[in-house]
Chain A
Amino acid sequence: MAHSSAEHHDNTKRIWFVFIILSIVTLVEVVLGIFKPALLVDYTFLSMKWLNWIFIILTIYKAYYIAWAFMHLEGETKGLRRAIVWTSVFLISYLLFILLIEGDYVYEVYKNNKVAWDF
């Protein structure tokens, strides 16, 4: 086989390293989720709490490690990697943009118009 034993050792080491990163990030998320520091809940950025921004960024960070190390995207050719990552990133961003803006609009309609929804 092409893999030498030293290379194999490196692979295993990297797998455990990624596992530790994923575990630590999950642990941080859970601790933040339980304690909900007032500083992060009270202040918002782009009308979303800082805490939620942190959760989302940490999630994408975890997704990156799963896709790159576990699904071995880092070893694929640039073309395959881009076909997968760019397609999903652009389509999902667009979908989120449309649906979240629309959801917020519907919320405003429910809140501000003259029809009673709660009767």
Chain B
Amino acid sequence: MEATVIRTGTEGKTWGGGNEPLRASYGKMMMWFFILSDALTFSGFLAAYGFSRFKYIDSWPIADEVFNHFPFLHGVDAPMYYVALMTFILIFSSVTMVLAVDAGHQMKKSKVVFYMFLTIIGGVIFLGSQAWEWKNFINGEYGAVATNGNNILQFVDEDGKRVALEAFATVAPRDRVQHTRSNGLWFTDEPALPALTVEDVKAGFMANPNLLIRTQQLTEEGEKTILTRAESESKMELEAARVVRGANLTENEYGVPLFGDFFFFITGFHGFHVLTGVLINIIIFFNILLGTYERRGNYEMVEKVGLYWHFVDLVWVFVFTFFYLV
């Protein structure tokens, strides 16, 4: 019995079916569709960041002052050096990825293995760097005081240099002790008490006449406003509400709380992409070692994960610009 073949008379025509107008395989096209939708997700994040930034256009934290750490250079003001290094690492791992794809077209297994290995190493270094950046951001450096209106007050000396809370706050004796399971209710406890209370900071501030307050308001020149001593004293007296150390999702010592939220969400979402990228790269790496693609006769799988990896790099280029430069 023969299979029924229906002839429609449209064979070979553009809309006759059975052809590939985009000349891309199913997998590659689906990867592109995924990348497109993911790009829109990231633009949603970055556009929301832009919205908040325009809303707080004259009080947004200055990125150079927030991200100014570099490994082994303690106390040195190194704005952006580290994030520039991270950018180079990611771009370079993109280059090794595209070299792996190219070697795959040549069916040169050992070269693909070598370049994939370098790509994975680059991704891992980037992830480590991002973790270090987060650590610095979360721990904070100088500390600040938040007002009742949730604004951040930072402290500077007469030259405008930042001063850490510990440098001037006087720790007053206090009765309150940390509630642990052994000295209170056995079934509950609390985290360690903050080393400084707002009263300690206030007392230390009043005792040091050379200290001034820096508000989060930006001047015409794009720098933070520094109040006079008289203004500083009255602001401290009337408005200081609590001590803020470092950053979390509800407050941060750098200024507007949304700055921290967007930092965590955008770089976190990107970091999650890098993490999954590294994991997928590792899987593909072992598949190459096992000779899966050699037997399959093509290295298109490497090309597809390559697309994803470049996309992660592409997103970082935008995050770098809008978080650290602009």
Answer whether A and B are interacting partners.
Answer: yes
Contact B51 A99 (CB under 8 A): yes
State whether A70 and B40 are in contact (beta carbons under 8 Å apart), knowing that A80-B24, A102-B51, A103-B50 are contacts in the complex.
Answer: no
Please report the total number of A residues contacting B with Cβ < 8 Å. Answer: 54
- Flag whether A112 is at the interface (Cβ < 8 A): no
Taking the closest CB of chain A, its distance from the CB of B129, in whole angstroms, is: 15
Q: A107-B56, A118-B149 are in contact. Are A66 and B22 (CB under 8 A)?
A: no
Scan A20-33; emit 1 where CB is below 8 A from any B CB, else 0. Answer: 00110011011001
CA distance A54 to B55 in the complex (A): 22
Which of B29, B55, B151 is within 8 Å of A107, CB to CB?
B55
B84 in contact with A66 (CB, 8 Å): no
Contact status A103-B80, CB under 8 Å:
no
Q: Contact: A26 with B91, CB < 8 Å?
A: yes
Partner of A3, one of B57, B106, B314: B106
Task: Flag if B326 contacts A56 (CB, 8 Å).
Answer: yes
Inter-subunit contact B88/A88 (CB<8 Å): no
A56: chain B residues at CB < 8 Å are 321, 326
Which of B21, B84, B222, B317 has a CB less than 8 Å from the CB of A41? B222
Closest to A117 in B: B149
Complex interface: chain A residues within 8 A of B321 (CB): 29, 55-56, 58-59
Bound complex: CA A30 to CA B70 (Å): 15
Q: Does the CB pair B222–A107 fall under 8 Å?
A: no
Interface size on B, residues (CB 8 A): 60
Are B98 and A70 in touch, CB under 8 angstroms?
A: yes
Given contacts A80-B24, A99-B50, contact A63 B318 (CB under 8 A): yes
Question: A59 near B317 (CB under 8 angstroms)?
Answer: yes
Question: Which of A1, A26, A80, A88 lies in contact with B84, CB distance below 8 A?
Answer: A26
Q: Which of B81, B84, B107, B314 contacts A63 (CB 8 A)?
A: B314
Chain B interface, DSSP helix/strand/loop, else mixed: helix
On chain A, the residues within 8 Å of B79 by CB distance are 33-34
Is A103 a contact partner of B52 (Cβ separation < 8 A)?
yes
Set of chain B residues within 8 Å of A15, measured between Cβ atoms: 95, 98-99, 102
Q: Is B139 an interface residue (CB 8 A)?
A: no
Q: Which of B35, B48, B56, B94 has the most CB of A within 10 A?
A: B94
Closest to B303 in A: A72
CB of A59 within 8 A of CB of B318, answer yes
> Quick check: A77 and B24 within 8 Å, CB to CB?
yes
Shortest C-beta distance, B315 to chain A (Å), equals: 10
> CB of A100 within 8 A of chain B?
yes
Give the complex CA separation of A11 and B102 in angstroms: 7
Q: How far is the CA of A103 from the CA of B311 in the complex (A)?
A: 28
Contacts of A117 in B (CB 8 A): 149
**B55-70 Cβ-contact flags toward A at 8 Å (1 or 0):** 1111000001000000
In the assembled complex, A45 has its CB within 8 A of some CB on chain B:
no
Question: Contacts of A71 on B, CB cut-off 8 Å?
Answer: 306-307, 310-311, 314
Q: Which residues of A contact B92 (CB under 8 A)?
A: 19
A84 within 8 A of B: yes
Does chain A have a CB within 8 A of B266?
no
Query: Contact residues of B with A, CB < 8 Å?
Result: 21-24, 29, 32, 35-36, 39-40, 43-44, 47-48, 50-58, 64, 79-81, 84, 87-88, 91-92, 94-95, 97-99, 101-102, 105-107, 147-149, 151, 222, 306-307, 310-311, 313-314, 317-318, 320-321, 324-326
* A–B pairs, 9, beta carbons within 8 Å: A1-B105, A11-B102, A55-B321, A66-B317, A76-B24, A80-B24, A92-B39, A107-B57, A117-B149
